[in-house]
Amino acid sequence: MEGALAGFVASLVAATGTALGAMILLVRRTWSPLQQTLMLATSAGIMLGATVFSLTLPALESLRGMLGDLGGTGWVAAMIVAGAATVGLIHRFVPHEHSVKGREGPPSVDLRGPTLFSLAIALHNVPEGLSVGVASTADLQTGLPVLLGITTQNLPEGFAVAAALSAGGVSRGKAVVAGALTGVAEIAGGLMGIALVGLGEAVVPFAYAFAAGAMLFVISGEVIPETHTAGKESRATYALVLGFCAMMLLDVLF
């Protein structure tokens, strides 16, 4: 499968993970706060593993070969910072809400809590889609563990949106559809990744590092704070570690 097509199909598959997660609401409407926290923490571990093994390490290997140890490492660091700063800027100007951190973005926009929460998950999906798009377009074998990891961790995110909307009074069917639609952001991120890689082979390691920075911002700034509440920090940390190890295993196997 050619690069751009592989990247697009991969982003569609990742978005399907969000849709499948939303559909869990049709089978089981509620999960305990602890269960939701552990699922989210495991997702953070998977994302962190993908960031390290499938994005940062390939970028380092490639750019150190091109520019030397110091120059290559410096460029990887710069692109990681650029990726994180870009996502941070988007989060600053797009209104959204988290269970623990509360509302973020422009306060003047009048939106209800469930809608703001849906926007928060959609914002998470953009850098995830970017990572899938970059990795799968550049090298499908490298992108496969990223795709599997991101698709898996999209399951609890899709359910979280559908459950929040349902709790806010939206019918179960509409909540599932809305949760599934947040996966569109994954496709948008995937298209961005395809566009970056399309600029030329020399851009690929820079795109890897940029995607890694975008993921790091979401992991540290958005996901982990949501799991460290009400005495669940220790169990959430172990769940993150297990998710990280699972992603490491996927990367080795594929």
Domain map (residue ranges) of the chain: 3-253
- What's the pLDDT at 91? 79
**CB proximity list for 243: less than 8 A, separation 6 or greater:** 41, 42, 43, 44, 45, 46, 47, 48, 49, 153
- CB 253, CB 245: distance < 8 Å: no
d(CA 17, CA 154): 5
- What's the pLDDT at 195? 92
Low-confidence ranges of the chain (pLDDT < 70): 1-2, 96-117
- What's the pLDDT at 210? 93
- CB 26, CB 224: distance < 8 Å: no
d(CA 190, CA 186): 6
- What's the pLDDT at 25? 86
Q: What tokens were used for 242? A: 């297990």
- What's the pLDDT at 152? 87
Rg of the chain in Å (alpha carbons): 17
Helices within the chain (DSSP H only): 3-27, 33-49, 57-93, 113-138, 140-167, 172-181, 184-198, 204-218, 224-227, 233-253
- What's the pLDDT at 99? 58
- CB 208, CB 135: distance < 8 Å: yes
- What's the pLDDT at 113? 54
- What's the pLDDT at 237? 94
Write the DSSP symbol of residue 103.
Answer: E
